[in-house]
Amino acid sequence: MKKHNFYAGPSILSEYTIKNTADAILNFADTGLSILEVSHRSKEFQAVIDEAAALVKELLNVPQGYSVLFLGGGASMQFCMIPYNFLQNKAAYLDTGTWASNAIKEAKLFGEVDVVASSKDANYTYIPKDFTVPADVDYFHFTTNNTIYGTEIRHDPDLGVRLIADMSSDIFSRPIDVAKYDAIYAGAQKNLAPAGVTIVIVKDEALGHVERAIPTMLNYKTHIAKGSMFNTPPVLPIYSALQTLRWYRDMGGIEALEKRDMEKAALLYEAIDSSRMFQGTVTDPADRSIMNVCFVMTPEYKDLEKDFIDFAGGRGIVGIKGHRSVGGFRASLYNAMPIDSVRVLVEAMKDFEATR
Ligand X SMILES: *Cc1c(COP(=O)(O)O)cnc(C)c1O
- Beta-bridged to residue 90, according to DSSP, are 112
d(C-alpha 273, C-alpha 282), whole Å? 11
Residue spans of alpha helices (H) in the chain: 15-26, 43-60, 74-86, 98-107, 220-225, 235-250, 253-273, 305-313, 339-354
| Cα dihedral: 313, 320, 71, 215 (round 10) | -130
Give the nearer residue to ligand X in terms of CB position, either 93 or 301.
Answer: 93
- The residues in 98-137 that bind ligand X, with binding defined as CB under 6 A, are 99
d(C-alpha 342, C-alpha 6), whole Å? 9
Interacting span for ligand X (CB under 6 A) from 113-121, 165-173, 300-308, 322-330:
165-173
Give the nearer residue to ligand X in terms of CB position, either 59 or 192.
Answer: 192
Neighbours of 240 (CB within 10 A): 26
Asked if residue 187 binds ligand X (CB under 6 A), the reply is yes
Helix 15-26 crosses helix 235-250 at what angle (to 10 degrees)? 140
Q: Given candidates 10, 72, 74, 313, which one binds ligand X under the rule CB under 6 A?
A: 74
Q: Given candidates 31, 42, 46, 76, which one binds ligand X under the rule CB under 6 A?
A: 76
Interacting span for ligand X (CB under 6 A) from 55-63, 72-80, 249-257, 324-332:
72-80
Give the nearer residue to ligand X in terms of CB position, either 167 or 242.
Answer: 167
Has 90 been annotated as catalytic? no
Interacting span for ligand X (CB under 6 A) from 161-169, 204-212, 238-246, 298-306:
161-169
Give the nearer residue to ligand X in terms of CB position, either 12 or 75.
Answer: 75
Asked if residue 75 binds ligand X (CB under 6 A), the reply is yes
Asked if residue 243 binds ligand X (CB under 6 A), the reply is no
Has 166 been annotated as catalytic? yes
Give the nearer residue to ligand X in terms of CB position, either 67 or 198.
Answer: 198
Interacting span for ligand X (CB under 6 A) from 16-24, 39-47, 70-78, 215-223:
70-78
Asked if residue 237 binds ligand X (CB under 6 A), the reply is no
Asked if residue 280 binds ligand X (CB under 6 A), the reply is no
Give the nearer residue to ligand X in terms of CB position, either 20 or 147.
Answer: 147
Asked if residue 46 binds ligand X (CB under 6 A), the reply is no
Which residue of the chain is nearest ligand X when measured via CB? 74
Question: What b/e readout covers 258-267, taking b as 16+ CB neighbours within 10 angstroms?
Answer: bebbeebbeb
End-to-end CA distance of the chain: 26
Interacting span for ligand X (CB under 6 A) from 11-19, 42-50, 69-77, 222-230:
69-77
- Interface pattern 293-322 for ligand X (x via CB under 6 A): ------------------------------
Cα-flanking dihedrals φ and ψ of residue 355, to 5°?
A: -80, -10
Catalytic residue (choose from 95, 99, 203, 261): 99
Measured CA distances, 148 to 166, 303, 330 (Å) = 14, 22, 8
Residue spans of alpha helices (H) in 122-233: 220-225
Asked if residue 166 binds ligand X (CB under 6 A), the reply is yes
d(C-alpha 159, C-alpha 94), whole Å? 12
Cα-flanking dihedrals φ and ψ of residue 181, to 5°?
A: -110, 145
**SS3 of residue 140 by DSSP:** strand
Asked if residue 151 binds ligand X (CB under 6 A), the reply is no
Contact call for residues 254 and 175 (beta carbons, < 8 A): yes
Asked if residue 169 binds ligand X (CB under 6 A), the reply is yes
Question: How far apart are CB 334 and ligand X at their closest, in Å?
Answer: 11
Catalytic residue (choose from 95, 166, 170, 261): 166
d(C-alpha 257, C-alpha 335), whole Å? 7
Active site residues: 99, 166, 190
